[in-house]
Amino acid sequence: MLWACIVLPQLALDAVLRRLPDPGAPLALASGPTQLRTLHAVNAGAAQAGLRAGMRLAAAHALLPTLATVEHDPQAEARWQQFLAAWAYRHSSLVSAQWASCIVLEVRASFHLLGPWPRIEARLREELAALGFAHRIAMAPTPRAARVLAGLQDGLAVSNPAAMQALLDRVPVRRAVLPGDTGERLQRMGIRDLRTLRELPRESLRRRFGAELLPHLDRLYGDADDALSYYAPPDHFDARIELGHEVESHTALLFPLRRLIGDLCTCLSIRDGGVQRFVLRLEHDVHRHDTRAHTDVEVGLLAAEREPAMLFEVTRNRLERVSIPKPVVALRLLARELPAFVPASRDLFDVRAQQALPWPQLRERLRARLGDDAVHRIAPTGDPRPERAWRRVDGDDARIDTAPARPPRPTWLLPKPVPLRDPRLRILSGPERLESGWWDGEDARRDYYVLETAQGQRAWAFTPAGERDGWMLHGWFA
């Protein structure tokens, strides 16, 4: 097996930067208690101004008054590592995120599908750059060795175990990512590199450095199997973006929304699934004395989809119809169910217009603006009462039956019968006696006639059974 390790040196910072429209502006992550705020990480713009991680926040502000700061969230780091594990899962079936700020994945099995290592590496780098994460990548026959090599030099790749061992022998102990502070202690004892370390008697090493070091070395060199805890994709999607400032307009929400939808679609394409129903939660500041902490924008589609542009547009339309009652401080996207996605089959030689939109997407666009009930189909039912002889059909899969044979029916039906007052009515045909519905309390006894009005319209009207006036208009033969 060959393992690639992707080291993410500034995962927490990248997770913040990628949601900002201008990642170049000086920014720092701050952590620590209120009295003793220190910088956890700084971006390139801040580093240029002389800011360093570990610096006091007050000192940083003195150096660079325009510095923007974001609270460092250790949990966010773990979440983003999981996200990247999900991303890596599409390149390999064996992905592990068990070590902090790095991802390891088995790549040999993917050579057949994705091509040789240089091509896979280029692809990984390209996608990571698009996702907005700084990275270092290395490849080695064992996952731990790949991790060590990635720490040494970006782009290092060794596929031969013997060459790997020779390379590892020359690695300084401090750089070998040994458990705990072992590396530092060994260095102080004068043990410089891994070869010297391996030449020491194993028994005494175990006594001095604990039970962890020897198995680690064995796994590093490939002498023992390395049982990693592998990543398994979750069956739901939940991502959150903190905005860092209060937003009260829709337009300012669109950029983070696009990121969220993009992440959702990445997750969907990895799972080979789609999404049919999700919630966009606009989180408000909870420190104010308000009852509602968030506003939910529900997005429901009639069929599973995973096209980013389409999902973005639908969500945007729904979002724009919602009034924002209070400033928004964070966006969260929750999708509980991720059903299987069946792409619409399309003819190879289909000649439709360039910008053609398939019907499901058009329908979602219409529903997003006009409301969930706006688009429907109609189907006949068996009930003889005209107002019940049809039903609405929502969704795609319902069967449409054939109506039982009856005398001619009008193409337009009035939602409710209305009185028809016209002195020059002419009876064309009728009556058709209709007597039904005694069982459900909506008993109907009517005589239906086809009438012609003075304007030449053909009307479908009824009177109470046996009578000839008091016309009630129920439909038009249009």
Partner 1 sequence: MQAVASLDSLLAAQTLWHAGRHPATTRDGEPTGHAALDALLPQRGWPRRALTELLLPADGVGELALLMPTLARLSREGGTLALVAPPYLPYAPAWQAAGIDLGALQVIETTPRDALWAFEQCLRSGACAAVVGWPRQADAQALRRLQVAADSGDCLGFVLRDRKHAANPSPAALRLEHDSDGWRVRKCRGGPAPTRAFAPGLH
Q: Interface residues with partner 1 (CB under 8 A)?
A: 352-353, 355-359, 361-363, 365-366, 369-370, 373-380, 386, 389-391, 400, 402-403, 406, 408-415, 453, 455-459, 475-478
Residue in this structure with the two tokens 């729904």, named with its chain if needed: 318
Closer to partner 1 by Cβ: residue 287 or 421: 421
Rounded to the nearest 10°, the torsion over CA 172, 178, 183, 189 is: -90
Q: Compute the least distance from the CB of residue 366 to partner 1, in Å.
A: 6
- Residue 431 Cβ vs partner 1, minimum distance, rounded to whole Å: 19
Give the β-pairing of 328-335 and 237-247.
antiparallel
Residue (78 or 322) nearer to partner 1, CB = 322
Cβ contact 297:254 at 8 Å: no
Nearer of residues 216 and 363 to partner 1, judged by Cβ: 363
Task: Report the residue number, 215 or 360, with the smaller CB distance to partner 1.
Answer: 360
Rg (CA), the chain: 34
- Output the DSSP codes for 220-270: HHTSS---PPBP---SSEEEEEEEEEEE-SSHHHHHHHHHHHHHHHHHHHH
Pairing type for strands 27-31 and 68-71 reads parallel
Nearest to 344, CA basis, from 331, 327, 363: 363
Nearest to partner 1 of 124, 450 (CB atom):
450
**What is the distance, to the nearest Å, from the Cα of residue 409 to the centroid of all Cα atoms in its chain?**
49
How near is the Cβ of 281 to partner 1 at its closest, in Å? 27
Least Å from the CB of residue 355 to partner 1: 7
Residue 28 or 319 with smaller CB distance to partner 1: 319
Nearer Cβ to partner 1, position 180 or 404? 404
Do the beta carbons of residue 148 and residue 176 sit within 8 Å?
yes
CB of 399 to partner 1, least distance (A): 9
Please compute, for residue 264, the number of CA atoms within 13 A of its CA located in the half-sphere on the CB side: 35
Nearer to partner 1, 112 or 416 (CB): 416
Minimum gap (Å) between residue 261 Cβ and partner 1 = 21
Asked if 57 and 30 count as a contact pair (C-beta separation under 8 A), the reply is yes
3-state secondary structure of 185: helix
Closest distance between partner 1 and the C-beta of residue 405, in Å?
A: 9
Output the smallest distance, CB 360 to partner 1, in A.
Answer: 9
CB 386 → partner 1: shortest distance, Å?
Answer: 7
Read off φ and ψ for residue 452, nearest 5 degrees: -115, 130
The total of other beta-carbon atoms located within 10 Å of residue 443's CB is: 11
Which CB sits closer to partner 1, 53 or 414? Answer: 414
Burial class (CB in 10 A: 0-12, 13-18, 19+), 354: exposed
